[in-house]
Amino acid sequence: MQRISDPRTGAEAPPQPPSLRARTFSCMGTVVSLTLPSASGADELVAATAVVERLFAGLDETFSLYRADSEASRLARAEIKLPDASGEMRRLYADAVGWRLLTEGAFTPERPDGVLDLSGIVKGYAIQEAGTSLLALGLRDWCLNAGGDVLVSGSPGAGSPGSGSDEPWRAGIVDPQDRRTLIAGYPLGGANSANGANGANLALATSGSAERGDHIWAAGAGAGAGARAASGVRGAPAFRQVSVAAADIVTADVLATAIVAGGMPMLDRATDGWNIEVLAVQAGGELLATPGFRR
Amino acid sequence: MRIRAAVSAALASAGILLAGWQSGIHLEDTRSAAASTSAGTNGATGTTGATGTTGATGSTGATGSSSSGSGSTDTGASDKGSSAAAGTDSGAAAEPTTGAAAKAGGTYAGSVVQTRFGAVQVQITVKAGAITDVEALQLTDDDRKSIQISNRAAPLLRSEVLAAQSADVQTIGGATVTSVAYLNSLQAALDAANL
Amino acid sequence: MNTQLLPALPAGSRDRKGPGSFRARHRRRLFRTDLLTTAAWASIAAAVALWLADGGTSEFSTLAGAVTALGIVTGLAGMDLVLLMLLLAARIPLIDQTVGHDRALEFHRKLGKPSLYLLLAHGLLIAIGYGMAEGLDPVSEAVSLWVLVPDMWLAFISMALFIAVVVTSLVAVRRRFPYEFWYAVHLLTYAAVATSLPHQFSVGGLFAEGTWQRWYWLAVCIATGAALLHYRVLEPVIATFRHQLTVSRVVQVAPGVVSIEMHGLRLNELAGAGGRFFIWRFLAPGLWWHPHPFSLSAEPLQFDASGRGLLRITVRNLGRGSAQLAGVKPGTKVAVEGPYGIFSTAARSRDRVVMIGAGIGITPLRALLESTPFAPGQATVILRGRSEQELYLGDEILELARNRGATVFHLTGPRSARHTGSWLPDSATDAGHRLADYAPGIADADVYVCGPGAWARNVLEDARAAGVREDQLHYERFDW
């Protein structure tokens, strides 16, 4: 495994790093990585990756606006109407509208030009479905990373003798100003988290205003966002990058997107209303963080 | 020539005012995070039914009335939140503080309020008429012995975040990278090492 | 050439560039004027921006907050105006050479009332705004501020001093009191500013420790103080020691008018000052503390290359202070500062020049006529007095004009009783003469006017009527 070492401190790695195995595939315009403890065996990883890849590919076929023949594209061209759309499309749309209400308009499934755009929620949904499938396959310890959004289960050390099976997956968060360095770390899962017993956060999603920002729209005219939300996002966005750790990936993904779009007021609403941890990188590079991200 | 002077003076002044205003807006936003502690307490007061304390504030008279007046507007602006907290504090501590003394500065302790984080007592520090610090004095929780008063995001230095650089990580979070960008990403390095 | 003193060549040949370069120089001066105007307005905007940058607008959500916020803004703008006033009175060469001493002081006076009103509004609004927030009436709030908040009692004293300074400076009051009293009260400005400073940094949250606003404000205040100290104290002291002026003789020129000749060192540095004025203090008992603004009435006469030589001022018995000057003993040391003002070649914008002087106001014109460049036939000098005796230095001017090719008019006779708006003697007014009749090309000339206030206003009026634009008019008040 790769050790990302800090040139400043030159700190040593823990004595026995867990041995891992990873596979990647490309989908939804990004790369998805599935990582398992190597004790699980190579065949298991290949099979699991195939399941995840099939699931991602299926969703991409339905929801991609980049494929002219997808259901989402035909909806966008108004060739079909929403009531006539597939059950999955309608369910995801309903979820997205629910999130729009919960975030007071900061998250919205519609582009300003009125085109239905579920891409803000599809990836989170895909990761969640993939996670469910992996658990159904009987896999307890895994880490699924789709373009920087992470969902984990169990522990990276599981199965390797000598290291406790309760250690969390450690996720690093990329510095938006220098994508080759990390600004923070965050522990995901661990300690029997496969049962979801201790309430540890399993998902980490990150949204940015700099990269592929097209799918995040400033919620200036958002219904409940009000004047302060508008002032928060007037001109340049308040945040360059927002990372949200939550119990599930859809919540983390949606709220990260919403905070980037809704600025400081949305950040406050999110930390008040959900049991999440947030690390936000402001436009000037300063950090805002909830206690969970502090040392 | 006088026109040139008038125009350039107007432009320069407008530019400076605009710059000041813009940076002020920026500050208001960060302030709302800093002052959020008190606002959070206030909101919690309402929900957990500890409104008794607010009632007590009202009974102290002039100080309480002015603070509750400003607190009653529900825009949720930062400064109102803090002023409401100030009112609660001075009222609860039953200090006959004139506002002038508060302007001069000092530290004031508030009453214990039940919040969803447990019992909380707030201490505010006033400097030159402005609340400079809100601090939780007493924090108890059912299952955790000590807890932050609020989950709000607060400013912090890069050196203060959970250390990531020196520790091993197994995965990398970041704003969505494209397939092309992935090739140069840290996650790609991790994946390559584990292939 | 001159019969009494031989003129020295000016130190720098800058002023001898000759006709033609005046327009370019004038454009540069106008550019500097605009730049200073812009900077002045920008400084006021910056003061308000300090508050805006501190998120001040959020205070407008409540009435009490809005009143307090307005109080803070008026205080910031008021203090900024006060600092501008101090800078305008600091005799900074850049300002002096750009707008001139007289106009700088004119702006200074114009800012007096607005700054006082802003500071008064500041005090009232703060008392009301704080009072509203606490349920107190403004008077009780003011008392509690005075008693409870550190440094606020100083701010109250400062406010009283500011009121005293501005009220005594108003022209009406100034006429009623002697100049010395007005001058002494004006020194209180420094006390007023000094007592206002502590509360700005200790009470105002805007300038709390650790804010960049605090550094900006400190820098502005310190820079203003440094400018005052340097240009109003250090430079004069240095000039005094540098030139070592001593009165060598006092000559009666006309009834009530004396020329004071002084010898000193490095006088070449004072040459070329034209009609610019110096501030003189004669270091004798009862005289030393009284500053006298006078122009040189002739270019300094130099004995050798080191600048040792003589210079001369011509003084008329106008006030008590001037009257004492006639009694100055030879050997008296003289403190000097200057030269100030742009009643000089620096103000030229055209090739033609018209100089109009009355009474003792003629003397600066003599030095100007001696030094300012013009081609023969392009200068007109108009001297005005009740009688030929009042045309001080008239002979010298005639001699200079003869040598340099200038036209001179002597207009004598009592001030017109029938034509109150006229600056000419009755005879001329009756004949229907106006300024343009004496100086036909005046519309394309620089016009220098020096004399009593009311008379000068009439001249300026006549000049404007003749088509002279404002930036061609250069005048110096000679009230005192």
- The 10s digit of each residue's pLDDT in C165-191 is 888 777 655 666 676 777 777 788 889
Strands of B130-140's sheet in order across: B105-115, B118-127, B130-140
State whether C46 and B128 contact (CB < 8 Å): no
- What DSSP element (H or E) covers C401? helix C394-404
Subunits in contact with chain C (3 or more CB pairs closer than 8 Å): B
pLDDT score recorded for residue A1: 39
Determine the average pLDDT of the residues in C32-57.
88
- Nearest Cα residue in chain C from B80: C61
State whether C45 and B75 contact (CB < 8 Å): no
Q: What is the DSSP letter of B162?
A: P
Q: How far is B64 from chain C (nearest CA, A)?
A: 9
pLDDT tens-digit map of A234-275: 345 678 899 999 999 999 999 998 998 888 888 888 888 888
| B8 near C CB under 8 A | yes
Q: What is the DSSP letter of C415?
A: B
pLDDT score recorded for residue C17: 47
> A169, A272, A277: which to substitute to probe chain B, counting the most B Cβ within 10 Å?
A272
Determine the average pLDDT of the residues in A73-86.
84
Determine the average pLDDT of the residues in A48-68.
88
Q: How far is B153 from chain C (nearest CA, A)?
A: 20
Does residue C339 have a cis bond before it (omega within 30 degrees)? yes
State whether B79 and C42 contact (CB < 8 Å): no
Residue A161: CB atoms within 10 A of its CB come to 7
pLDDT score recorded for residue A249: 94
Domains of chain A and any CATH numbers: 20-293 (3.10.520.10)
Q: How far is A102 from chain B (nearest CA, A)?
A: 17
Q: With a CB-CB cutoff of 8 Å, which residues 89-128 of chain B face chain A?
A: none
State whether B19 and C136 contact (CB < 8 Å): no
Chain C residues with CB-CB distance to B74 below 8 A = none
Determine the average pLDDT of the residues in C95-122.
88
pLDDT tens-digit map of C346-390: 888 888 999 999 888 888 888 888 888 888 888 999 998 888 877
Q: How far is B188 from chain C (nearest CA, A)?
A: 43
pLDDT tens-digit map of A220-229: 333 222 222 3
pLDDT at C136 over 90: no
pLDDT score recorded for residue C318: 64
Chain C residues with CB-CB distance to B104 below 8 A = 148-150, 203
Could you identify the residue written with the tokens 């239905």?
A: A116
State whether A173 and B174 contact (CB < 8 Å): yes
User: Rounded to whole angstroms, how far apart are CA atoms C151 and B73?
Assistant: 34
User: Rounded to whole angstroms, how far apart are CA atoms B116 and B140?
Assistant: 11
Residue C215: CB atoms within 10 A of its CB come to 11
Q: What is the DSSP letter of A104?
A: T
Half-sphere exposure of A165 (CA within 13 A, CB side): 14
Contact A160, A18 (CB under 8 A): yes
pLDDT score recorded for residue B56: 33
The answer for residues whose C-beta is within 8 angstroms of residue B132's C-beta and 6 or more apart is B125, B126, C208
Q: How far is A129 from chain B (nearest CA, A)?
A: 19
Long-range contacts of C110-116 (CB under 8 A, 24+ apart): C111/C81, C111/C84, C111/C85, C112/C85, C112/C166, C112/C169, C112/C170, C113/C166, C114/C81, C115/C78, C115/C81, C115/C82, C115/C85, C115/C162, C115/C166, C116/C78, C116/C162, C116/C163, C116/C166
The answer for residues whose C-beta is within 8 angstroms of residue A188's C-beta and 6 or more apart is A143, A150, A152, A168, A169, A170, A171, A200, A201, A202, A203, A204, A245, B171
Chain B residues with CB-CB distance to C203 below 8 A = 103-104, 128-129
Determine the average pLDDT of the residues in A111-136.
86
pLDDT score recorded for residue C237: 92
Q: Is the pTM of this model over 0.95?
A: no
Percent of chain C at pLDDT > 70 equals: 89
- What DSSP element (H or E) covers B69? helix B62-72
Determine the average pLDDT of the residues in A178-202.
70
User: Rounded to whole angstroms, how far apart are CA atoms C176 and C167?
Assistant: 12
Candidates B29, B171, B174; nearest CB to A232:
B29
State whether A173 and B164 contact (CB < 8 Å): yes
Chain B residues with CB-CB distance to A243 below 8 A = 173
Instruction: Strands of chain A (E only): list them.
Output: 20-27, 30-37, 142-146, 149-153, 169-175, 178-188, 203-208, 239-246, 277-282, 287-289
Least confident of B146-150, C26-30, C156-160: B146-150
The answer for residues whose C-beta is within 8 angstroms of residue B3's C-beta and 6 or more apart is none
pLDDT tens-digit map of C405-429: 888 888 888 876 666 778 888 778 7
Q: With a CB-CB cutoff of 8 Å, which residues 107-166 of chain C face chain B?
A: 130, 132-136, 141, 144-145, 147-150
State whether A288 and B157 contact (CB < 8 Å): no
State whether A33 and B171 contact (CB < 8 Å): yes
Which two three-digit tokens encode residue C3? 């019969």
Contact A105, A266 (CB under 8 A): no
Mean pLDDT of chain C: 82
Closest to C459 measured CA to CA, from C384, C401, C370:
C384
pLDDT score recorded for residue C480: 41
Determine the average pLDDT of the residues in C38-46.
92
Chain C residues with CB-CB distance to B132 below 8 A = 208
pLDDT at C445 over 80: yes
| B75 near C CB under 8 A | yes
pLDDT at C474 over 80: yes
pLDDT at A127 over 90: yes
Chain B residues with CB-CB distance to A188 below 8 A = 171
Q: With a CB-CB cutoff of 8 Å, which residues 195-234 of chain C face chain B?
A: 202-205, 208
| C351 near B CB under 8 A | no
User: Rounded to whole angstroms, how far apart are CA atoms A155 and A18?
Assistant: 10
Single-letter code of the amino acid located at B90: S
In terms of phi and psi (left: phi > 0; alpha: psi -120 to 50; beta: otherwise), the region of B123 is beta
pLDDT score recorded for residue C355: 92
Half-sphere exposure of C368 (CA within 13 A, CB side): 33
Chain C residues with CB-CB distance to B78 below 8 A = 58
| B128 near C CB under 8 A | yes
Contact A279, B155 (CB under 8 A): no
User: Rounded to whole angstroms, how far apart are CA atoms C80 and C432?
Assistant: 50
Q: Between β-strands C333-340 and C245-254, what pairing exists: parallel, antiparallel or unpaired?
A: antiparallel
Higher-pLDDT residue of C107 and C299 is C107
Mean pLDDT of chain A: 77
Chain B residues with CB-CB distance to C75 below 8 A = none
Chain A residues with CB-CB distance to B168 below 8 A = 1, 3-4, 13-14, 17, 170
Higher-pLDDT residue of C135 and A23 is A23
Percent of chain A at pLDDT > 70 equals: 78
Subunits in contact with chain A (3 or more CB pairs closer than 8 Å): B
> B172, B178, B179: which to substitute to probe chain A, counting the most A Cβ within 10 Å?
B172
Candidates B33, B176, B191; nearest CB to A24:
B191
Higher-pLDDT residue of B121 and A24 is A24
User: Rounded to whole angstroms, how far apart are CA atoms C414 and C427?
Assistant: 9
State whether B66 and C45 contact (CB < 8 Å): no
pLDDT at C121 over 80: yes
- What DSSP element (H or E) covers C381? strand C379-385
State whether B186 and A172 contact (CB < 8 Å): yes
Q: What is the DSSP letter of C330?
A: T
Closest to A131 measured CA to CA, from A160, A148, A154, A107:
A154
Strands of C473-477's sheet in order across: C406-412, C379-385, C352-358, C445-451, C473-477
Q: Is C12 exposed, middle or buried (0-12, 13-18, 19+ CB in 10 A)?
A: exposed
pLDDT score recorded for residue B66: 34
State whether B164 and A226 contact (CB < 8 Å): no
Determine the average pLDDT of the residues in C229-246.
91
Could you identify the residue written with the tokens 């929780």?
A: B141
Contact B99, C133 (CB under 8 A): yes
- What DSSP element (H or E) covers B17? helix B2-34
Instruction: Calculate the alpha carbon distances from A5 to A13, A155, A174, B177 in Å.
Output: 8, 21, 14, 22
Q: With a CB-CB cutoff of 8 Å, which residues 27-86 of chain C face chain B?
A: 30, 33-34, 37-38, 40-42, 44-46, 48-59, 61-62, 64-65
- Residue A184 phi/psi, 5-degree rounding, is -155, 165
pLDDT at C55 over 80: no
Model confidence at A203, pLDDT cuts 50, 70, 90, reads very high
What ipTM was assigned to the predicted interfaces of this complex? 0.72
Out of A47-56, A275-284, C123-132, C394-403, give the one with best mean pLDDT: A47-56
Chain B residues with CB-CB distance to C44 below 8 A = 13
> Following CA atoms C141, C146, C150, C154 in sequence, which dihedral angle do they give, to the nearest 10 degrees?
130
pLDDT at C45 over 90: yes
Q: Which residues of chain B have pLDDT under 50?
A: 30-104, 114-119, 138-150, 165-167
